[in-house]
Amino acid sequence: MRSRSRLLLLLLVIAFGAIAVLMTRAELRRIVVSDADQSFTVPPGTSLRGVLNALADQRLLSHPRLIEAWSRWRYGTRVGLKSGNYRIPVGSTPRDIIEQIRQGRVVLEQITLIEGWNFTQLRQAMDAHPRVVHAWRDLTPAMVMERLGAPGVHPEGRFFPDTYRFAAGTTDGAIYRMAFERMQRELDAAWQQRGTDNTLTSPAQLLTFASLIEKETGRGDERGQVAGVFANRLKIGMRLQSDPTVIYGLGSSYDGDIRSRDLVTDTPYNTYMRDGLPPTPIAMPGAASLRAAANPDKTRALYFVATGNGDGSHQFSATLEEHNAAVARFLRKLKRRG
């Protein structure tokens, strides 16, 4: 009698086990996202059971305990689910979802650092981003550079302008590091590719030179010419007389208009008053400006001024007489518009 009972119990266990296996297989293969992509968030530190319960609450699976048992059998005690925001595509099954979360295929956020921004603008964008963990928000610029392994280095221009993608919850320090290391690579590449007649003496000088080019023109077809003008001036000891350096030196006192008195207000960045390059970059230069600084156009031009054509173009001149005539044309256009 006991033997029959044990046999019956064994058969029942086998039957229930077989049913559970069949149900689990069916559940794992069932398409649960059919009409539109679904969003799902895994907070940091969430357990496997917590994730499966949340998926069930969102109707992305029906039998969380079965899936939990399968997951532990399939992956062991440490399933390795990654926190973050996920977009679950149409056609996904519970097995697809578990694999996506295990592999950490999260929705990537992004932040765009604009060519020509200064460090203050970079920090404002970083601090305002809602998906960034602001661990470095209260650090001084000097402390930021120290954390990046560059103590004593001025932060201006040291971060490469580009769009950076990252998982929600990434720290601002990690993004600063990405942009800093990218600029190091781009700057090193430009320095290695500089022309044999380039008179700049260090990568730091090339970075500063490139920042001036970035601020003087937004036109890709003019960067080499602007670089050529500044290179010519440096070679003959002529002051660069770059308005963007004056504006940078004025700092918060600049109100949007540059005046004659500003040109004679001496600051370390006023290239009307001081020889050579300014002491640091004045903005973040892009790759094109770095290349132009490394290989300026061969030109006789020593001057340039806006054409006033509304397309951001400039007139380049080899002599002061030509330049004065170009300035006069520009002023006449402004007067007609005004």
Q: Residue 3 has what pLDDT?
A: 62
Same domain, 91 and 206: no
Instruction: Give the domain-ending residue among 78, 103, 128.
Output: 103
pLDDT at 1: 53
**How many Cβ atoms from other residues are within 10 Å of residue 333's Cβ?**
15
Domain span at residue 80 reads 28-103
Q: Tens of pLDDT along 170-208?
A: 999 999 999 999 999 999 999 999 999 999 999 999 999
* pLDDT for the residue 22: 47
Contact residues for 209 (Cβ-Cβ < 8 A; gap 6+): 200, 227, 230, 277, 293
Question: Do 122 and 96 lie in a common domain?
Answer: no
152 occurs within a structural domain: yes
Domain harbouring 93, CATH code: 3.30.1490.480
Q: Residues 127, 214: one domain? A: no
Whether residues 99 and 122 share a domain: the answer is no
Residue 89 lies in a domain: yes
pLDDT given for residue 34 in this prediction = 77
Contact 164, 196 (CB under 8 A): no
Domain boundary pick from 103, 135, 167: 103
Percentage of the chain beyond pLDDT 70 is 92
Q: 11 φ, ψ to 5°?
A: -65, -40
The answer to the question of residue 13 being in a domain is no
The answer on 315 and 245 residing in a single domain is: yes
**Pair (179, 275) in one structural domain:** no
Residue 17 is predicted with a pLDDT of: 44
* Partner residues linked to 38 by β-bridges: 88
- Same-domain check for residues 157 and 208: no
Of the pLDDT bands very low, low, confident and very high (cuts 50, 70, 90), residue 63 is: confident
Q: Let me know if residue 20 belongs to a domain.
A: no
Please, how many CA atoms are within 13 Å of residue 231, restricted to the half-sphere of its CB?
24
Does residue 179 share a domain with residue 244?
no
Residue 78 or residue 261, greater confidence = 261
Residue 251 lies in a domain: yes
Residue 334's pLDDT is: 81
216 and 309, same domain (yes or no): yes
Query: Are 206 and 153 found together in one domain?
Result: no
Given 148, 163, 186, which residue is the final one in a domain? 186
Count of domains forming the chain? 3
Distance CA 209, CA 91 (A): 53
What does the alpha-carbon distance between residue 54 and residue 56 come to, in Å, rounded to a whole number? 5
> Domain check: are 213 and 255 in the same one?
yes
Which pLDDT band holds residue 256 (cuts at 50, 70, 90)? confident
Query: At 31, is the pLDDT very low, low, confident or very high (cuts 50, 70, 90)?
Result: confident
Q: Tell me, what's the pLDDT at 23?
A: 47
* For helices 94-103 and 64-75, angle between their N-to-C axes, nearest 10 degrees: 50
Query: Do the domain assignments include residue 21?
Result: no
Considering the domain boundaries, does residue 17 fall inside one? no
- Give residue 13's pLDDT: 45
Structure token pair of residue 203: 């990568």
pLDDT > 50? residue 97: yes
Which of the four pLDDT bands, split at 50, 70 and 90, describes residue 10? very low
Indicate the range of 89-103, 170-184, 274-288 predicted with least confidence: 89-103
Residue 19 in any domain: the answer is no
Residues 166, 228 within the same domain: no
